[in-house]
Structure 1
């Protein structure tokens, strides 16, 4: 088990990188605490797997260091780092039984047979593999093989960290929730640092205590699931997390008022003077925007209302800009004219994609 520190870490696949655009992974300074459950979340190509492979030793960074506790492991081979890695597709030995596959990492380390047997039974029970322990892996489905692969990563209790690279890709959708819950239970029981790479926000938010959101090779925010939802530090986080994502609307800001077209929106706090060269936007999640009958709030045009089972989402236009809003139970809209009520505590202002701190009445940032 280890604390993992990324110290001025950056990586480029091209020779002689000179600008930030040359780097697939832009500079990162980050610490993963020992025993934490973390997720690297972002779209394909954002640098998640590159970062994971640097931590595991499969890729050497262009610059910076990786430390396990206080040990610099930047130049250590993968096998010297004492980590377990579970990949997107199953890595199993088809000619072995499930029991032999699970026992293999322990056998290689000369763990006594009785301890190995107990550990294999424990992990098999957690992953619902007990009934197939003595079957050949070659006769099992792809999702069962991936459960074996997960088990091989989890079976060693002494690892510094377990790294998961989109491990549930081949798992049937109805089993994903069960396995995410199982991994969370195992994490609580074993107190091992776990880092989970995924582009699926549901996987990240249900597995991790802290989520690292990546975009275009950079970390744009690290926080708890609640922090990412309630206060996105970047417009990408607001858009990427949530279904539907945050409404992002170009605006002007004058003190404690945001202006979208000719619509004026009061803000909970005043903002500094924003320069003309900055791209200013207002962000608010659909959950905090309510559609109401005409005359009850900001005037909007209703384009359609979607019933998504658990809720109704209205697609409207505010000042000529598209926006999604929640429709409360019991609210009925006649025609295309309606109103919006925005929750002031959940309105955020962004400059060039980054959250801008407002000011309290005393002039302090908030």
Structure 2
């Protein structure tokens, strides 16, 4: 078990990188505490798998160091790092039984037979594999094989960390929630550092205590699921997390007033010295924008109403910009013109994509 430190870590696949654009993974300084459950979240190509492979030893970084506790492992091969890795697609031995597959990592390390048998039974129960322990892996479905692969990663109690690279890709959707819950139970029981790579926000937010959001090779925010939702540090985080994502509207800000297409909005924070930039934007999540009758707020044109089961989302247009708003149960939508009201507690101002802080106005919290 280990605390994992990334010290000025960066990686480029091309030789002699000169600019940030040359790096697939831009400089990262980060510490994963021992026993934490972390997710690396971002779209394909953002650098998350590269980072995971650097931690595991499959890729050596161009710059920087990796420490397990205080031990520099940057130049150590994978087998010397005492980690377990579960890949996107199942890695099993088809000619072996499920029991033999689960026992294989322990057998290789000469763990006594009685302890191996006990550990295999424990993991099999957690993953609901007990009834198939004596079956050959070749006769099982893809999702069952992935459960075996998960079990092989989890069976060793002495690993420094377990790394998961999109492990639920081949799992049937109705089993994914069950397996995420199982991994959380195992994490609480074993106190092992777990790092889970995914492009699926639901997987990341339900598995991890802290989520590392990546975009274009860089870490743009690290925080709890609540922090990422309520106070996105970057417009990408606001857009990527949430369904639908955060509304991002170009605006002009003067002190405690934002102007959107000539309409003034009183803010709860004052921005006295905005950075010199070409792009100032207002961000607010659809959950905090309410559709209202015409004339009772900012005017909008209603394009359509989406019923997503748990709520209704209005797709509207304000000053030529698309906007998503929640539709209260008591608001009938009978025409294409309406208004929206913002919950000003959840309005954020961004400069070139980055959240900027303001001073509270009239006793409001910053």
Q: Could you say which residue in structure 2 is the equivalent of 1:27?
A: 27
User: Given the alignment of the two structures, is residue 100 of structure 1 paired with residue 100 of structure 2, yes or no?
Assistant: yes
Q: CA deviation at 1:333?
A: 2.2
User: Given the alignment of the two structures, is residue 251 of structure 1 paired with residue 251 of structure 2, yes or no?
Assistant: yes
Taking the aligned partners of 1:232 and 1:206, their CA distance within structure 2 comes to 18
Taking the aligned partners of 2:277 and 2:191, their CA distance within structure 1 comes to 48
Deviates more, 1:264-273 or 1:219-228: 264-273
SS in 2 for 1:180: helix
Q: How does 1:138-153 map to 2 (within 5 A)?
A: 138-153=138-153
Q: CA deviation at 1:361?
A: 4.4
Taking the aligned partners of 1:174 and 1:361, their CA distance within structure 2 comes to 48
Taking the aligned partners of 1:199 and 1:284, their CA distance within structure 2 comes to 23
Q: Could you say which residue in structure 1 is the equivalent of 2:214?
A: 214
Q: CA deviation at 1:186?
A: 0.4
Q: CA deviation at 1:295?
A: 1.9
Q: CA deviation at 1:199?
A: 0.2
Contact 2:277 2:351 in 1 (8 A): no
Q: CA deviation at 1:262?
A: 1.5
Report the TM-score when normalising by structure 1: 0.98
Structure 1 unaligned regions, length at least 5: none
Q: CA deviation at 1:360?
A: 2.5
Structure 2 unaligned regions, length at least 5: none
Taking the aligned partners of 2:123 and 2:9, their CA distance within structure 1 comes to 35
SS in 2 for 1:28: strand
Taking the aligned partners of 2:45 and 2:261, their CA distance within structure 1 comes to 35
Q: CA deviation at 1:300?
A: 1.1
Taking the aligned partners of 1:304 and 1:78, their CA distance within structure 2 comes to 53
Taking the aligned partners of 2:17 and 2:214, their CA distance within structure 1 comes to 20
Q: Could you say which residue in structure 2 is the equivalent of 1:56?
A: 56
Q: How does 1:291-330 map to 2 (within 5 A)?
A: 291-330=291-330
SS in 2 for 1:39: strand
Q: Deviations over 1:310-364 (max 9, x none)?
A: 1100011122211000001121122111111110110000000000101124999
Q: Could you say which residue in structure 2 is the equivalent of 1:37?
A: 37
Q: Deviations over 1:186-234 (max 9, x none)?
A: 0000000000000000000000000000000000000000000000000
Deviates more, 1:291-300 or 1:228-237: 291-300
Deviates more, 1:316-325 or 1:225-234: 316-325
Q: How many residue pairs are counted as aligned between the two chains?
A: 366
Q: Could you say which residue in structure 1 is the equivalent of 2:185?
A: 185
Q: Could you say which residue in structure 2 is the equivalent of 1:125?
A: 125
Q: Could you say which residue in structure 2 is the equivalent of 1:65?
A: 65
Q: Could you say which residue in structure 1 is the equivalent of 2:269?
A: 269
